[in-house]
Amino acid sequence: MGKHRARGILILALVLFVVGVSAARFAPESPTGLEVYPSASLTRRTWLSQYNPALKGTAGDTPVLVFEGALPGGTMLVLGGTHADEPAGAAAALVIAENVSPEQGRLIVIPYANASGFSHTLPQEGHPSHYTLDTPGGPRRIPFGSRLTNPVHQWPDPTVYIEKVQRQKLAGTESRNLNRAYPGEENGSLTAKVAYAITRLIVDEGVDVAVDLHESSPEYPVNNAIVAHDRAMDLAAIAAVELEYAGVSINIEPSPVNLRGLSHREWGDNTDTLAVLLESPNPSQGRLRGTTDERLVVEGIDPMYLKASLRGRLYVPYTEEGAPLAMRVGRHVASVEALAWSHTMLSPDRGIVLGGLPTYSELLENGVGAYLKPSR
């Protein structure tokens, strides 16, 4: 009897040891580990929990960076990292935050909107946990995550997710999709709390233009596009013309009235801001991709997508040069600057003039890392 008891205790101790080691390996990164090194124009750094105290101390809290120009004007919000498996979104927000020098108005940047999403990757996708860029000062390691909040932070998923505006029914996992959670709930799920805080920020800070940076699969029809709320169509149209002069061809898509919970719809319906969402083609998240690794994330070259392009199956141009991160980030940075310029043309008294940002051609030539600081 004593022998069996001793054996049982030994087995239990071994199990607890294995569980402890596994837990340490699979524990999500803290959102405070998400790197951003703002430019010298930073005037205020706060946390998203300022706009919803229910986020304080949670994995959903994330840095909010405010840059202010010498001349008074309007306010623009740039949101990166809504979906952490769409790397150009966060990378473009980082390039903007680490280089911008506003001349007029204010710029608010949230590089990692869904911080929890950067602490894991989607199961069975084979995505890398990060990718590395060469910068003038050394390597910069940027996390690659998931389009959903980490289930460690929000669980369980409902069988069916019912969004709160029109009671539309979605898959249960979509309850962890920040871009299906707007306008959010102050004391709802973690994802809903994040959405609520962002909506409150737009209201409290008087944001004139709000830009949500995304990517989509090359086979997805809404691509290389500005998705604009009804009230933001003029803003998008003028920006698109300006982008053509910079060598960036972009489509304009109206925000669907009956597709709820998305930033470009709910920000525009629930606040006074002009809401837009930007899309660029991302081979590393598409269904047709081959090997998924850091190289695909950065270089965007995939033989499967080239075959699909030759067969006319894609909605974007795709050649042997692929869809490199530098091109996608360049499109986003150029689009943000064009949207600011467009708003200044439409509302001169609320002008937003962003200085210090690399041009589309400079990003293509020098790469994204040339405009980022190294990891510390």
Give the rounded percent of residues in the chain with a pLDDT score beyond 90.
Answer: 91
The DSSP H or E segment spanning 141 is strand 138-143
Does pLDDT of 294 surpass 50? yes
Amino acid code (one letter) for 24: A
Q: Which whole-number Å values give the CA distances from 344 to 105, 130, 354, in the listed order?
A: 10, 37, 11
Structure tokens that stand for 6 in this block: 């001793």
CA distances from 163 to 155, 190, 193 (A): 17, 14, 14
* Burial bucket for residue 156 (CB in 10 Å: 0-12, 13-18, 19+): exposed
pLDDT tens digits, 313-324: 999 999 999 999
How far apart are alpha carbons 191 and 179 in whole angstroms? 9
CA proximity to 64, closest of 153, 176, 197, 181:
197
pLDDT in tens, 35-57: 999 999 999 999 999 999 999 99
What's the pLDDT at 140? 98
**Residue in 108, 133, 156, 116 with CA at minimum distance from that of residue 31:** 116
Which CATH code is given to the segment(s) 41-286+325-371?
3.40.630
DSSP string covering 160-222:
EEE-TTT--EEEGGGGG-GGGSTT--TTS-HHHHHHHHHHHHHHHTT-SEEEEE--B-TTSSS
Average pLDDT across the chain, whole number: 94
Backbone angles phi, psi at 267, to 5 degrees: -60, -45
Q: What is the mean pLDDT of residues 185-198?
A: 99
- What global pTM score does this model have? 0.92
**What average pLDDT does this structure show over 222-244?**
98
Rounded to 5°, the CA angle 77-81-84 comes to: 170
